[in-house]
Amino acid sequence: MIRLLRILITGQHGQVSRALQQQLHGLGELIILGRDQLDLANPEHIRKQIRTHHPDLIINAAAHTAVDLAESEPDVAFAINAIAPGVLAEEAKALGIPLIHYSTDYVFDGSKPAPYTEADMPDPLGVYGRSKLAGERAIAAVGGAYLILRTSWVYSNHGKNFLLTLERLLQEKPHLRIVADQIGAPTWAGTIARSTHTLIERWQAGKPGEWGVYHLTARGETSWFGFAQAIAEHLRADGKACAELEAIPSSAYPTPARRPLNSRLNCSRLQQQWQVSQPPWQDALRECLAERH
């Protein structure tokens, strides 16, 4: 009989953390440490909390994800995204338990014409990507049993994300200009949580794949403009009026942080090693929206 786990999850109200709380409750006791319980900018506080709770598994679902803000506060971004993951890895290794950590397509510069594989050399464009890459490297330097799961374009029915922002703007404004030359896979937080659940079950059953870095996104690809079109179609199907959409290049919408033009991640290694695959992004979007009813 597989015993119930004590799973420590960093982050409480973030998109991935909320989805994990829904998906993983059947696996055992969930120890949820939000900002009020865990100061990720304080390494000693991290160590104290891990040693106090003595979990069987650590999932780091917390991060500094404000991409543009990171450009003006790099010290905060690196404390949370780079130093904290290394400390979590050290504590996990000391306890002899696995660490699951989420990373990002932003570790790449987006210049490759094909989807990125785990073997491709990272080259981040900005502070956020550099801080996340530094976190990956800190975990790898510690070693032990770890999974670094790179994902992209995360959305859900909670928090701040493209889906919720677009739904509001599509109904508030007559005309919207959306970037069309950045390509990637919109990935529902529910998809990430379900895949994580399966990975944990494989490990519990004694059938894990190799530990290390993996790509985890929805299947397929689109642009932000294409994603916006799909969101608009669902709103219209519900009888709601929508703004007219106009496709624009990234150069017409400058931001403090540069975004990779190609955010496509090849996820075949996760399927080969762990037998974990994801649904097409269109199917996941439908399921996300259906959750509301």
Angle (deg, nearest 10), helices 84-95 and 43-53: 30
Closest CA to 8 of 43, 51, 45, 42: 51
pLDDT digits (tens, 9 = 90+) for 164-174: 999 999 999 99
| Tens digits of residue pLDDT in 192-207 | 999 999 999 999 999 8
Per-position DSSP letters for 183-217, written without gaps between them: EE--EEHHHHHHHHHHHHHHHHTT-----EEEE--
- Dihedral Cα 204, 133, 93, 47, nearest 10 deg: -110
106 assigned to active site: no
Does the pLDDT of residue 1 top 60, yes or no? no
What are the pLDDT digits (tens) for 81-122? 999 999 999 999 999 999 999 999 999 999 999 999 999 999
Q: For 58-78, give one letter per residue: b (16+ CB within 10 A) or e.
A: bbbbbbbbebeebbeebebbb
Confirm if 145 and 92 have CB atoms less than 8 A apart. yes
The pLDDT value recorded for residue 126 is: 96
pLDDT classification of 232: cutoffs 50, 70, 90:
very high
Q: Which amino acid is at 82?
A: A
* Residues sharing a CB contact under 8 Å with residue 96, sequence separation 6 or more, in sequence order: none
| Count of residues in the chain | 293
Answer yes or no: is pLDDT of 175 > 90: yes
Is-contact 64 130, C-beta < 8 A? Answer: no
The SS3 call for residue 292 is coil
pLDDT of residue 208: 82
pLDDT at 147: 98
3-state secondary structure (DSSP) of residue 156: coil
Give all domains of the chain, ordered by start, each with its CATH number. Answer: 5-156+186-218+264-279 (3.40.50.720)
Residue tagged active-site, from 102, 106, 116, 128: 128
User: What's the whole-number average pLDDT of the chain?
Assistant: 95
Q: Which two tokens stand for residue 89?
A: 């890895």
Once rounded to an integer, what is the mean pLDDT over residues 115-143?
Answer: 98
